[in-house]
Structure 1
């Protein structure tokens, strides 16, 4: 495999090692990367030699999510079917990883954003180093948190996942451990020993448990009561009303949070809240619904406008095309959940993954 490939693979002992290899782009997800990941996971699932797989990254970022520049160019040139084909592959890989039958250890010591979670979150172990960061900034782009986010976010403690989804809040390692995004917090200097243990087929759970360290305190854990109060509301309007009414020591936080919501795309907020409140029963169901929603968002003026502004590094100077939050009715929101006759995603069953 070429040294300049999006991702590098090698086997050491009984470990299959995957190295994200586009540090200049923040290791953004590309179609080639997803296809290569899928191929190697299926191969290693079949191989009696391989005990487990390890995912690591070169550079300061772990994975910043999709290559939005490439996606924007495809949409702008009318190649939506190509975009949806890439999305099918990406969502299929989330489902493949969920059903991977061996240990899968992701070593994360840098920013992980949006759909970057899809290449590691459904594996058995997610190790957060001291530089770990995670966010789902979809609503700020006029999009929504996807790659299975509608499955894992509502299952976080209380309504903290709703807060993370609607604000794009950046989690640190302690937050991630509190919320179950990370299974372990381990200083990055110990990452090499994890690869060595996996290569030796040492039982990985007790080994990781022995290295786990608390990396600071979780601000979200301390703030959960007020988050639960505000984000348990049934509508975006009521969430904002509750935030505006906070008057105690959390008033400053509430004002900043309300301002963040008011800057986001109104239709993104409404669609995201409905997705999370529906709480899909499985990752597969979540991915199937998210595929419909994403397909409709790719035609959304808010998404095109938000993505263009983000790529140009500009703040939006004009209101979102969807207007105010009050203007986005339940009828408008429902259009993003409409079925796609003849174009639904067909995820391969885990029973067929290693046949």
Structure 2
């Protein structure tokens, strides 16, 4: 058994059981948590008694609300960029490990799942949504970008839904996540502990899940699908904004809300996210992770990430001063530079 204060990885019956246990931080991923999970996956791959990995949370509020952005902010402000990049390199390697893991990987998600939490759940074989499931990739609001494999996953969602999530940072619940394919099953919150116990016993995972799964109707965004497909299928970012305004002019209050939402995000981050959505559909997973490491290597030495964390997390004045301040001022050549190869510093992945 591997024991750390923030995470427990143990063998329980047929399962390698991962318990996220940092509730005071909504299970935000620390480097220790990343390393413990990676080490457990390495060990369990060779253990024949472990036939599946099951990831759960002790928090009633969150599965995992992201990476430890305050820690990353503080390292960067102190000029310790190597430590920041070491975290992201190990986190991204873990995301790739989960995506390529040879055994079923089951995440029981009942609460907030954002950022880094998406990275340790979305790429597994089974994503089980509880009643309290709440998904978002809100990075553009802190001068960052949708990472942890979002470059690969979000462009593959139908109807521009990935672009909607990436550019707005909007939160969605279980019904919309099921419709989009972000979640594979829905289970009532009150049955999650019972399901965890069932998954530790031998038996086909899909057969076990069939005894717990409930059907959910269309989510709140069901009626917005046509509008989102049109808007986020646009070929350029200015056209996205123009289509939103056009939809608003035709009476769509939701389009008006999204226009206002995007307007307050980091313009650089929104432009990066749009470029990711255009590029990611043509990349394999490893290429997507290397692309994200290229982006983060530049963001770590930029301005908007530190300003966003200051405004949202530290000072909480919700008044970030972005550079540049508007989408119109963003230079496409500057955005392209975030995606440029790193040469000898490229992300190293196994397999």
User: Aligning the two structures, in what range does the TM-score lie when normalised by the shorter sequence?
Assistant: over 0.9
Residues 136, 247 of structure 1: CA spacing in aligned structure 2 closer, same or farther, 3 A cutoff?
closer
Displacement of 1:161 in angstroms is: 0.7
CA gap of 1:198–1:294, structure 2 versus 1, over 3 A, is same
Residue 23 (structure 1) aligns with: 23
Aligned to 2:99: 98
Contact preservation (8 Å) 2:19, 2:58: yes
Tell me if 1:123 matches 2:137. Answer: no
Q: After superposition, what is the alpha-carbon deviation per residue over 1:133-161, rounded to whole angstroms, capped at 9, x for unaligned?
A: 01000111111100000111011111011
What stretches of structure 2 of length at least 5 have no aligned partner?
A: none
Query: Deviation at 1:69?
Result: 1.0
Does the aligned pair in 1 maintain the 2:65–2:117 contact within 8 Å? yes
- Does the 8 Å CA contact 2:308/2:320 hold for their aligned counterparts? no
Query: 1-side partners of 2:318 and 2:8: how far apart?
Result: 38
Task: Give secondary structure in 2 for the equivalent of 1:62.
Answer: strand
Partner of 1:271: 272
Q: Is the 8 A contact 1:130 1:215 kept in 2?
A: no
Correspondence for 2:138: 137
Query: 1:74 corresponds to which residue?
Result: 75
Task: Tell me the TM-score normalised to structure 1 length.
Answer: 0.94
Whether the 8 Å contact between 2:28 and 2:117 is mirrored in structure 1 is yes
Q: CA deviation at 1:214?
A: 2.5
**CA shift at 1:175, angstroms?**
0.9
For residues 92-124 of structure 1, the C-alpha deviation after alignment (integer angstroms, 9 at most, x for no partner) is 101111121112111110001112111111111
Cα 1:2/1:159, change in 2 over 3 Å: closer
Report the TM-score, using the length of structure 2 for normalisation: 0.95
Counterpart of 1:151 in structure 2 is: 152
Alpha-carbon distance, 1:249 to partner:
7.2
Give the equivalent residue in structure 1 for 2:228: 227
Work out whether residues 15 and 195 of structure 1, in 8 Å CA contact, stay in contact via their aligned partners in 2.
no
CA contact (8 A) 1:132 1:172 kept: yes
Moved more, 229-238 or 269-278: 229-238
Looking at structure 2, the residues matched to 170 and 204 of structure 1 have their Cα atoms a distance apart, in angstroms, of 29
Shift of 1:323: 2.6
Residue 326 of structure 1: SS of its match in structure 2? helix
1:248 is displaced (CA, Å) by: 7.0
Q: Secondary structure at the match of 2:62?
A: coil
Residues 157-176 of structure 1 deviation map (CA, whole Å, 9 limit, x = unaligned): 11011001100110100111
1:216 deviation in Å?
A: 4.7
Q: Give distance in 2, aligned partners of 1:115 and 1:136.
A: 9
Q: Are the counterparts in 2 of residues 132 and 173 from structure 1 also a CA contact under 8 Å? A: yes
Q: Which residue of structure 2 lines up, in the alignment, with residue 107 of structure 1?
A: 108
Distance 2:38 2:48 in 1: 18
Pick which of 74-83 and 113-122 moved more: 113-122
Q: CA deviation at 1:196?
A: 2.8
CA distance in 2, matches of 1:21, 1:250: 46
Q: 1:313–1:236: structure 2 CA closer, same or farther, 3 Å change rule?
A: farther
Check whether the contact 1:230–1:243 (CA below 8 A) recurs between aligned residues.
yes
For 1:352, the equivalent position in structure 2 comes to none
2:240 corresponds to:
239
User: 2 CA distance for matches of 1:190 and 1:246?
Assistant: 41
* Partner Cα separation in structure 2 for residue 9 and residue 3 of structure 1: 7
> Mapping of 1:1-355 within 5 angstroms?
5-59=5-59, 60-247=61-248, 251-278=252-279, 279-317=281-319, 319-349=321-351
Is 1:244–1:258's contact at 8 Å kept on the other side of the alignment?
A: yes
CA drift at 1:318:
5.6
* Secondary structure of the corresponding residue to residue 56 of structure 1: strand
Residue-by-residue CA offset, 1:68-93 (whole Å, 9 max, x unaligned) = 11111100111101111111100010
Cα RMSD after superposing both structures: 1.7
Q: Which 10-residue stretch deviates more, 85-94 or 207-216?
A: 207-216
